Amino acid sequence: MPAVTRLGRATVSQEEPGDIKPLHEKPEVMKMAVVGATGMVGTVMLQVLAESELFTDWELLPVASERSAGQKVVYRGRELTLMRASDAIAARPSIAVFSAGGAASAELAPLFAQAGTTVIDNSSHWRMHPHIPLVVPEINASVLSAADRIIANPNCSTIQMVLALWPLHRRYGINRVVVSSYQSVTGTGVKALRQLMGERAGENPDKAYPWPIDMNVIPHGGSFLADGYTTEEEKLVNETRKILSDPEIRVTATVVRVPVRGGHSEAVNVELTEEFDLMEVKQMFAATPGVTVVDDPRANLYPMPLFAEGKNDVFVGRIRRDHSQPRTLNLWVVSDNLRKGAATNAIQIAEYLVNNHLISNNR
């Protein structure tokens, strides 16, 4: 029998001489499940996974609803059959990336976790649980351990904002953030995209929003709360504090839905604790992994959804001092909400887990 050594919260098996496997025996292939593989974010997750060299030799388990099980999806040029969640759990993948909605995550994530799978969940269900890590890898991947079985992927608008805020908070400290986000219809889902494109074509499509979205902006994202704010605005407040590990940061948000297919934009006003140098700020952004600076107003160069769509970076521009009060900065932040705002961030978490040996091979 193998001897067992416990290192922190991980368990490592040390093979005795009699347990050594023959040299010709091939190691079993690592497996990853994508739960919600046919959805808008799930489809992009498959694209991002296909672009990652790290998962080239992994077996993919695409999971969908009972209704869709047995249908096909294309991954890396091959047709794969959609599985039921129960079959994927029985296959015991090392990682399961979820984008199937909060109800599915609440029910299925613990079942995968009990099977030894590390779950990376894109819904809002687990984000504010005190013992569940909420992770943007460039900022706080170091909080992850081998004991974490459920990891939360933040809201799309939060991810892009905190990636811009992180170097500022680390260098100067942040007192207050005022953000207005201009969110594309794909943040709502495929029904909203169909509404926009249908209205643009002169049709009368099913409504994802209470008002027309083409040729309009709607100051309404998520559901309204008793205090007049929305759930999308509340996420920007609470998730920012959790990711930056600072409950004292004051954040106020307004979410607006705009007739854009892909890419969220944010006007961010940041009051810092210490005085800043504008050139140093721009240099910090340029040196931040995952951030691209587009800031040349004289040449009409600034971030726009038109150019961010399909890219993994967060784009920062219109970097300027707020002259109305001291130690305050204005930023314009844009990112593809389906990429870095969802799929890319989740796959980057998976890459970190693998590269740092924080997952198990569930053979």
Q: Which of 169, 264, 323, 357 is catalytic?
A: 264
Task: Name residue 70's amino acid.
Answer: G
Instruction: Give the position of tokens 């993948």.
Output: 93
Element (H or E) spanning 4, and its range? strand 3-7
Task: Find all residues with CB under 8 Å of 215, minimum gap 6, and list them.
Answer: 259
Contact yes or no for 73/47 (Cβ under 8 A): no
Sign of the Cα torsion 293, 299, 303, 307 reads negative
Contact yes or no for 119/144 (Cβ under 8 A): no
Q: What is the largest CA-CA distance in the chain?
A: 74
Q: What's the CA gap between 54 and 52, in Å, rounded?
A: 5
Neighbours of 229 (CB within 10 A): 17
For the question of residue 131 being annotated catalytic, the response is no
Q: Choose the catalytic residue: 24, 129, 156, 220.
A: 156
CA angle 194, 309, 354 (to 5 degrees): 110
Q: Is 264 a catalytic residue?
A: yes
DSSP for 227-268?
Answer: TS-BHHHHHHHHHHHHHTT-TT-EEEEEEEE-S-SS-EEEEE
Buried b / exposed e along 17-43 (16+ C-beta atoms within 10 A)? eeeeeeeeeeeeebbbbbbbbbbbbbb
Q: Which residues pair with 254 in a beta bridge?
A: 180
Task: Please list the active-site residues.
Answer: 156, 264
